[in-house]
Amino acid sequence: MKTLDRSVNTLSRRTVLRASVYAGAGLTLFAPVGFRAAARQDSFTIAFIQGVIGDNFYITMDCGARAKAEALGNVTIDTQGPERFDQTLQTPILNAVVQTAPSAIMMAPNDRQGMIAPIQAAIDAGVPVLCVDTTIDADIQLGDVATDNVEGGRLAARGLAEQIGGAGKVFVVNTIPGVSTTDMREQGFREAIENEFPDIEYLGQEYSNNDANVAAQITAARLQSDPDLSGIFGTNLFSAQGAAAALREQGLQGQVKMVGFDAGPTQVQDLRSEVVDLLIAQHPGDIGEVAVQLLHDFLSTGEPLDPKEFVTGATVVTRDNIEDPEVARYLYVADCADYTLADATAMPAVSLEATPTA
């Protein structure tokens, strides 16, 4: 059975290409006329449209974006987001933002198909769009900056497999069908379980509609239908939070092992109190920093991104390593006063490999 290094598993951001290296590469590249006009400005306004407001993941990403903007000195960030992770709520926000004519938009699309047309309309209006975290099934955006979510799902599978001794039944609480990031996390989890752990039975997934209360209900029902359940993987902050609540309410913490994706304050508390056994922390602050640097470079030069897809790291958080400063720095914040600029770098997606480090 494959085991997980319990010190730190992290996708390093230090050893590879800086996200802005393409600027100055000497390539003769051209952007649409409306976009090139922005390059003559001395200052820029970047609209950040979150996937949902009130999520510590997006709060931390916003803090990273604002810290980078302050360091650059000529970028202003305007942040908005829907109250639920719902494309019907996100689309009118995007349309309204376009009417204010920002220099660029960075956004986390709420549906990989449904947000294509609204983003195309923004681009047609002369506003470039960079996707962060989630993406769309198209190539119309400037580019994408996100976690390697398939690899993150594999890390979750391997961590959960170690927790349950390589055998038993496992179940996934997912968020909403059609969300690129969580679809890929489930994919990576499922593939790792099926290919690496023959004695683990994967029971499939159910969707929480990005609602912690629904996730708790789903998990409670699963615990009743499968009393011999060994482990649970929650694919995002709210799904993991709800699943953990169900375990706590039924007094099954420690008996049914739990891995959660994301590392918000509630999830960290669940880890410390032994309701959750492992967290996969994304680096949302890094995503925000890298996205603002990419947009600043594009708006300053008019040169398209090359490559177009960048990935940031993921860090395995356990009770054994949570006090390590190199791990603790990736725990999500609730307020930007707690955020420190990291001068983050990112990797081209095609070259990403997960490498355990001590």
Q: What distance in Å separates the CA atoms of residue 331 and residue 262, rounded to the nearest whole number?
A: 8
| Residuewise pLDDT in 10s, the chain (358 residues) | 433 333 334 443 332 333 333 332 222 223 343 444 444 578 999 999 999 999 999 999 999 999 999 999 999 999 999 999 999 999 999 999 999 999 999 999 999 999 999 999 999 999 999 999 999 999 999 999 999 999 999 999 999 999 999 999 999 999 999 898 999 999 999 999 999 999 999 999 999 998 999 999 999 999 999 999 999 999 998 999 999 999 999 999 999 999 999 999 989 999 999 999 999 999 999 999 999 999 999 999 999 999 999 999 899 999 999 999 999 999 999 999 999 999 998 789 864 333 333 2
- Residue in the block written with tokens 């976690």: 147
The separation between CA 35 and the C-alpha centre of its own chain, rounded to angstroms, equals 27
Strands of the 44-49 sheet, one edge to the other: 75-80, 44-49, 104-107, 129-132, 143-147, 309-312, 347-348
CB 313 within 8 A of CB 286: yes
CA distances from 320 to 8, 243, 277, 324 (A): 9, 22, 10, 9
Q: For the beta carbon of residue 96, count every other beta carbon within 10 angstroms.
A: 12
Whole-model pTM?
0.82
Q: What is the pLDDT of residue 42?
A: 87
- Residue in the block written with tokens 């050893």: 15
Q: What distance in Å separates the CA atoms of residue 132 and residue 311, rounded to the nearest whole number?
A: 10
Which CATH code fits 149-282?
3.40.50.2300
Q: What distance in Å separates the CA atoms of residue 200 and residue 157, rounded to the nearest whole number?
A: 10
11-147+283-312 shares its CATH topology with 149-282: yes
DSSP SS3 for 6: coil
DSSP readout, 30-80?
Answer: ---HHHHHHTT-SSEEEEEE-SSTT-HHHHHHHHHHHHHHHHHSSEEEEEE
Q: What distance in Å separates the CA atoms of residue 97 and residue 288, rounded to the nearest whole number?
A: 19
CB 104 within 8 A of CB 127: yes
Q: Any idea which fold 11-147+283-312 has?
A: Rossmann fold (3.40.50)
DSSP readout, 239-282?
Answer: HHHHHHHHHHHTT-BTTBEEEEES--HHHHHHHHTTS--EEEEE
Under DSSP, the state recorded for 355 is: -
Q: What is the pLDDT of residue 276?
A: 94
- Residue in the block written with tokens 């600027």: 23
Q: What is the pLDDT of residue 345?
A: 86
CA distances from 41 to 23, 107, 125, 299 (A): 17, 22, 18, 8
Closest CA to 128 of 114, 141, 147: 141
Total residue length of the chain: 358
Which helix (H) or strand (E) segment holds residue 123: the answer is: helix 116-124
CB 181 within 8 A of CB 144: no
Q: What distance in Å separates the CA atoms of residue 30 and residue 313, rounded to the nearest whole number?
A: 30
The β-bridge partners of 327 are none
Q: What is the pLDDT of residue 178?
A: 86
Q: What is the pLDDT of residue 29?
A: 28
Domain edges within the chain: 11-147+283-312, 149-282
Closest CA to 233 of 208, 265, 269, 266: 208
Measured distance between the N- and C-terminal CA atoms of the chain, rounded to whole angstroms: 20
